[in-house]
Amino acid sequence: MLEGLYEPVRGKLQQGLKEEKMLDFYISWDVDLEHWLERGNELFDQRKGHPFGSALKFREAVRSSVLPGWETGDPARIRAGMDALLDQFKQKSVESHLRAKVKHSDLLEWVFGYDHVKLSYGLCYSGTELDKLSPGTKGIVLLILYLAMDSEDSMPLVVDQPEENLDSESIYSLLSHYFRSAKSLRQVIVITHNPNLVVNTDADQVIVASANRLGGAFPTFSYQSGGLEDPGIREKVCLILEGGRAAFLKREERYALRPN
């Protein structure tokens, strides 16, 4: 069922850019076999001997019968595996090995219980699960997913410091492209400390915020706005941009601008 729900999203990602194709959803069944075996072995009276000869042989029997079905979640394999295990229970007279206070219902509750089988699902990028990615990569992956899936929305988008924990190459090669694409359909407002992101996304309007603190008073803020072709704004960006004016001039070629 989950595979069917994810399929439209997966299909859209596979039609996108390289980064989008590296995104995928995973679905897996996690089986705590040892916990299930431990609970079962506690039902047996060890003075009567283990019905399977030993706990090790019991584990081997379970691994060959029901474990494949539990790990795949395939109902047919689960049924076939459970039938095979119950047949072995009958052949080995498992009930005769139960502790005195263990009832038949306790045995069935353990055998047919499913709390040891968990369904896990999530997002992975380039084969790595989302929670195992670095904070910066995790943030960019979620942003790429959102922008890729929300490509037809025209509502304004506000993004606060998307460059955190990212290297300059990632900012240029990943974020810049997606913001340039998104702004053709919607207004994109980015709060950032990284002028590289401002320049490389072809920002139409730049607002530079400055804070002045005098003595112990609260800081006062001033703002200057304009396009990148504005000499005053360009100068402000140069002061903040790593590499200064020389770095900006390389990027300025795309605008066919010349500094005053």
Kindly state whether residues 53 and 108 are assigned to the same domain: yes
**Tally of domains within the chain:** 2
What's the chain's Rg over C-alpha atoms? 30
Kindly state whether residues 114 and 221 are assigned to the same domain: no
Q: pTM of this prediction? A: 0.56
Domain end, chosen from 94, 120, 146, is at 120
Give 245-248's long-range contacts (Cβ < 8 A, gap of 24+): 248/199
Domain end, chosen from 78, 94, 120, is at 120
Kindly state whether residues 52 and 100 are assigned to the same domain: yes
What 3-state class would DSSP assign to 103?
A: coil
Kindly state whether residues 163 and 250 are assigned to the same domain: yes
Kindly state whether residues 172 and 110 are assigned to the same domain: no
What 3-state class would DSSP assign to 245?
A: helix
Q: Average model confidence (pLDDT) for the chain?
A: 82
* Residue 97 maps to a domain: yes
Cα–Cα distances in angstroms (integers) from residue 128 to residues 73, 141, 163, 235, in the given order: 22, 11, 21, 42
Mean pLDDT of 172-183: 78
Cβ contacts of 55 within 8 Å, gap of 6 or more: 37, 41
* Residue 125 maps to a domain: no
For 106-139, how does the pLDDT look when each residue is reduced to its tens digit (9 = 90+)?
Answer: 999 999 999 999 988 888 888 888 888 888 778 7
Confidence at residue 116, expressed as pLDDT on a 0 to 100 scale: 94
Cα–Cα distances in angstroms (integers) from residue 19 to residues 123, 143, 230, in the given order: 13, 11, 34
* Residue 163 maps to a domain: yes
Kindly state whether residues 35 and 105 are assigned to the same domain: yes
Residue 214 scores a pLDDT above 90: no
What amino acid is encoded at 55 in this protein? A
The residue among 39, 31, 33, 32 whose CA lies nearest residue 107 is 39
Confidence at residue 20, expressed as pLDDT on a 0 to 100 scale: 75
Domain that holds residue 175: 154-255
Kindly state whether residues 114 and 37 are assigned to the same domain: yes
